[in-house]
């Protein structure tokens, strides 16, 4: 659906507009679209081309986002559209993120209907995920406002490539976010993601944390590209200093996708080394992703080291926290937000 943009943009001379949603600040002449392919200059005004255009809906465990320290065991009603403001050569969901409006099938769904469906399927949260939710800003804003009125949490799964102006306006309606910090060097973003700089992503993470949003960070480790020990250590130092040591960090195993099928899957030992570095740098909660059954899926007490939450894949199979989310062995307060929700199973895609 086409709708005039309410996310920040600037009108320029000669009926041009500048989109101020992401750090690209695309300047568009009439009938031109931005880099994300979803925002267009129509008669000197900026429009979103994907308002209410839903490409997928699913009921997911919150752990799939991944969010391990936010209402463990709860369900997220996951929705997506099409497009992205990055062009990652390794994208798992490239069929959504690298498509243009009209290129794949979508369904027009009102914000009210999304919230109704989340309630029907007994989901504690709505997750804006699969493709990049930042470019879906107007729809996310409207859905999230209604969701909050109905007592439903809102979760962003995002690349974090957004202007602080646009982010600040959205954050009052966001409860949690998993931000994909793809590497800790500009050259990676330039060569593999088509973006000039990492800095806006870090600034977005810091603003989220400052505004009280529950933040977890994911770093997909790709062999030969971002698996250098010094780079990983720099990422961990930034996390501890800027977000706090209790910010969960997920090191995820790479599998060949999209334009990087020539790269081998990450060795599990490489992911384990990254986790070891993070723990050495003082990160309290360090997780290993895409390796089901690994001990790195579990939550351990940062004080006494005891196992507190055992997971297998996306399922919580053991819970050793006392009331108030304290370690039942030593009493340490654990940075898990919300209570454990015992779910009776979950389903895959609805559309």
Mean pLDDT score, 320-342: 95
Confidence of residue 348 (pLDDT cuts 50, 70, 90): low
Largest Cα–Cα distance of the chain, in whole Å? 68
Model pLDDT for residues 212-225, shown as the tens digit of each residue: 999 999 999 999 99
Mean pLDDT score, 213-238: 99
Instruction: State the pLDDT at residue 13.
Output: 98
Confidence of residue 342 (pLDDT cuts 50, 70, 90): confident
> Average pLDDT, whole number, for the chain?
97
Residue 244 pLDDT > 80, yes or no? yes
Length of the chain equals 351
Dihedral angle computed from the Cα positions of residues 39, 45, 170 and 190, in that order, rounded to the nearest 10 degrees = 40
Residue 344 pLDDT > 70, yes or no? no
Domains of the chain, first to last: 3-48 (no CATH), 54-292 (3.20.20.70)
Model pLDDT for residues 253-299, shown as the tens digit of each residue: 999 999 999 999 999 999 999 999 999 999 999 999 999 999 999 99
H-type alpha helices, 69-212: 94-97, 111-120, 137-149, 164-170, 186-188, 199-210
Q: What is the pTM of this model?
A: 0.96
Helix, strand, coil in percent for the chain, rounding step 5: 30, 25, 45
Q: In what order do the strands lie in the sheet with 3-4?
A: 3-4, 45-48, 39-42
Model pLDDT for residues 121-169, shown as the tens digit of each residue: 999 999 999 999 999 999 999 999 999 999 999 999 999 999 999 999 9
Confidence of residue 349 (pLDDT cuts 50, 70, 90): low
Confidence of residue 32 (pLDDT cuts 50, 70, 90): very high
Mean pLDDT score, 26-40: 98
Residue 110 pLDDT > 60, yes or no? yes
Residue 96 pLDDT > 60, yes or no? yes
Nearest residue to 345 via CA among 321, 311, 314, 320: 314
Confidence of residue 351 (pLDDT cuts 50, 70, 90): low
C-beta of residue 350 within 8 angstroms of C-beta of residue 109: no
Model pLDDT for residues 52-92, shown as the tens digit of each residue: 999 999 999 999 999 999 999 999 999 999 999 999 999 99
């Amino acid at each position: 659906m086409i709708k005039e943009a309410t996310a920040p943009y600037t009108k320029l001379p000669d009926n041009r507009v500048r989109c101020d949603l992401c750090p690209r600040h695309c300047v568009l002449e009439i009938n031109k679209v931005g880099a994300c392919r979803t925002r267009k200059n129509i008669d000197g005004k900026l429009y979103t081309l994907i308002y209410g255009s839903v490409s997928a809906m699913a009921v997911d465990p919150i752990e799939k986002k991944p969010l391990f320290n936010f209402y463990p065991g709860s369900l997220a009603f996951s929705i997506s559209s099409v497009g992205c403001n990055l062009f990652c050569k390794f994208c798992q969901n490239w069929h959504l993120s690298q498509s243009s409006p009209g290129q794949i099938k979508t369904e027009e769904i009102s914000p009210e209907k999304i919230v109704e469906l989340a309630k029907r399927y007994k989901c504690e949260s709505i997750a804006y995920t699969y493709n990049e939710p930042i470019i879906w800003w107007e729809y996310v804003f409207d859905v999230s406002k209604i969701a909050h009125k109905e007592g439903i949490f809102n979760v962003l799964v995002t690349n974090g490539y957004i202007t602080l102006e646009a982010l600040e306006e959205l954050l009052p309606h966001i409860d949690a976010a998993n931000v994909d910090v793809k590497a800790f060097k500009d050259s990676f973003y330039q060569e593999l993601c088509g973006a000039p700089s990492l800095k806006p992503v870090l600034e977005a993470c810091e603003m989220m944390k400052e505004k009280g949003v529950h933040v977890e960070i994911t770093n997909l480790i790709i062999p030969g590209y971002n698996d250098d020990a010094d780079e990983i250590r720099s990422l961990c130092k930034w996390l501890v200093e800027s977000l706090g040591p209790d910010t969960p960090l997920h090191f995820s195993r790479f599998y060949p996708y999209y334009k990087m099928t020539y790269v081998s899957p990450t060795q599990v030992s490489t992911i384990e080394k990254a986790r070891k570095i993070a723990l050495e740098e003082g990160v309290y909660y360090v997780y290993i992703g895409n390796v089901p059954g690994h001990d790195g899926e579990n939550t351990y007490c940062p004080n006494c080291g005891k196992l507190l939450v055992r997971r297998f894949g996306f399922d919580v199979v053991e819970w050793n926290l006392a009331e108030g989310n304290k370690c039942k062995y030593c009493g340490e307060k654990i940075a898990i937000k919300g209570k454990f929700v015992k779910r009776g199973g979950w389903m895959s895609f609805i559309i």
